[in-house]
Amino acid sequence: MKKKDIIVQKYGGTSVATTKRIKEVAERVIYTKKAGNDVVVVVSAPGDTTDELIALAKKITDNPIERELDMLLATGEQQSIALLAIAINALGYKAISFTGSQVGIITDKIHTKARIIKIDGKKIEKALKLGKIVIVAGFQGMNTKEDITTLGRGGSDLTAVALAAELKAKICELYKDVEGIYTTNPNIVPKARKLPKISYDEMLEMASLGAQVVNGRSIEFAKKYNVPIYVRSSFNEKTGTLITGEEKNMMEKLLISGVTLDKDEAKLTILGVPDTPGVAAKVFRSIADRHVNVDMIIQDVSEKGITNISCTVDKVDLKKTLIALGRIKSEIGATGIIADENIAKVSVIGVGMLSHPGVAASMFEILAEKKINIEMISTSEIKISCIIEKKDAEKAVQAIHRKFNLDKQKGSKL
């Protein structure tokens, strides 16, 4: 007997926000099962449950203990998996729900931002052999101390892709409240175009630069284990976007695939830093020790042996970063620290940039034309990012999108 293909489906919070929507998800899952596939479903917490639980904890204290916060947040997904299993069983199909720890998702010890170390897929495989649809709580796992951990924002995507890799699934389908990956946010640019395909590298850059449709770490995982991802809407049957390895004829070989915007970063500047060996290492070690990821870094030209160092971090990590820098300020002899939350990061992404000079010049020219000042610049082979004032953010995205003709099917030109 031919082994059935395994399809992993992930449904976000809006997809399971009400009992009506849970029943609709159950029907879609059963349709996939009836097509002859084994199905593993990963679900997020219903609607805004995670935000509501965080708000509840913060009514008690502004700095809840992270271990207990993980214990609290993990309950959101447990509601979804149980309700979806109940809905599928009520329709006459066998389904069983598991938490992340029950299916052996083992993580490191970092609470609220845990990284997956390994997965034991035996429990899922056993249930599939019994003909059951398996439903797994996204966003969570267990560390080696058997404490519940969570994977960070968008962690259910990561759960789904990791399970797809472990189970050697045919595909990982991510059902969202959008129809796929667009050239930019359609709420900012109504003419934004849905991309039929995009490469892992481009999607990874887009996710890390502010496109919040897919969790960035899930793309890293997918690229490493060659898991194809299909992003589509959970509310209709329209085609979505396939995220996969680069192909010769992939549409996204065009110059620019997309423009992203991130308003969730803050800029920190350490003033009056002695320009001597080892100082920068101390600064960024103090930040890293608090498990904070630094994005852009820039150091001014030294004047009389003194310089300024600027960097950007996620706003949620701003308080932790300020505490870290405050403690090391006197040790390194810095004169002050400035924090600026009124910034935004606008970026262009595309594998076509590898063979086309002039993208940066075109981007800077259009920002200058719109009288938008650039505070910081960061580049890689397939992306260019600029830090600008938040008030100019949407105007910048609209101008850059027009500049590279991203609303046209034939794509971008200089």
- What does the pLDDT read at residue 208? 75
The 3-state secondary structure of the chain reads CCCCCEEEEEECHHHHCCHHHHHHHHHHHHHHHHCCCEEEEEECCCCCHHHHHHHHHHCCCCCCCHHHHHHHHHHHHHHHHHHHHHHHHHCCCCEEEECCCCCCEEECCCCCCCCEEEECCHHHHHHHHCCCEEEEECCEEECCCCCEEECCCCHHHHHHHHHHHHHCCCEEEEEECCCCCECCCCCCCCCCCECCEEEHHHHHHHHHCCCCCCCHHHHHHHHHHCCCEEEEECCCCCCCEEEECCCCCCHHHCCCCEEEEECCEEEEEEEEEECCCCHHHHHHHHHHCCCCCEEEEEECCCECCEEEEEEEEEHHHHHHHHHHHHHHHHHHCCCEEEEECCEEEEEEECHHHHHCCCHHHHHHHHHHHCCCCCCEEEEECCEEEEEEEHHHHHHHHHHHHHHCCCCCCCCCCC
- Give the C-alpha separation, 53 to 279, whole Å: 40
- What does the pLDDT read at residue 251? 44
Structure tokens at 120: 């034991």
Partners of 142 in the beta sheet? 106, 148
- One digit per residue, the tens of pLDDT, for the chain of length 414 reads 467 899 999 999 999 999 999 999 999 999 999 999 999 999 999 999 999 999 999 999 988 999 999 999 999 999 999 999 999 999 999 999 999 999 999 999 999 989 999 999 899 999 999 999 999 999 999 999 999 999 988 899 999 999 999 999 999 999 998 889 999 988 899 999 999 999 898 888 888 776 678 888 899 999 999 999 999 998 888 999 999 986 554 443 557 889 999 999 999 999 999 999 999 999 999 999 998 999 999 998 888 889 999 999 999 899 999 999 999 998 999 999 999 999 999 999 888 776 677 888 999 999 999 999 999 999 888 889 999 999 999 999 999 999 998 887 555 555
Task: Region of 212 please: left (phi>0), alpha (psi -120 to 50) or beta.
Answer: alpha
- What does the pLDDT read at residue 409? 58
As a dihedral over the C-alpha atoms of residue 368, residue 256, residue 174, residue 79, rounded to 10 degrees, the angle is -10
